[in-house]
Amino acid sequence: MQQLLWIETLLKLSAGLALVVAPLSLIKLFGLPRADTGFWPRLLGAVLIGLAGSLFLEGRVAGAHGIGLAGCVIVNFCAVSIMAAMLVLDAGPPSARGRVAMGTLVVLLVLLSVLEIANL
């Protein structure tokens, strides 16, 4: 069981990193439907990296049964990190409304994570 958990962790981490670093190239390489921007593939990559982090935590903590609040914090912070980086690098939504919505989501996810940390 433990080996399967580590394999899944490595698979999610490697796929997530590849999607964050080179989303459009990866889409082209695998023959997936073409995307105009790397926004959604990068966001998926961030979630995969977060899931890999939560799986790593589950494998390291004795008696863990599922993601739990600590795993949710990891997923949220990975998603927030990539979303904030996309906003700073101007690789996020092209419209002002989209940037405001994404910025609001970043703030809300950080606040949620702080509340989750307080309840650990």
pLDDT in tens, 63-90: 777 788 889 999 999 999 999 999 999 9
- DSSP classification of residue 31: T
Read off the pLDDT of residues 14-65 as tens digits, 9 standing for 90 and up. Answer: 999 999 999 999 999 989 888 888 999 999 999 999 999 999 988 888 777 7
C-alpha distances in Å from residue 33, one per residue of 23, 25, 40, 41, 90: 12, 12, 12, 11, 23
C-alpha distances in Å from residue 43, one per residue of 17, 66, 70, 115: 11, 23, 20, 23
What local confidence, expressed as pLDDT, does residue 17 receive? 97
- The torsion angles phi and psi of 95, rounded to 5 degrees, stand at -90, 155
DSSP H/E element including 35: none
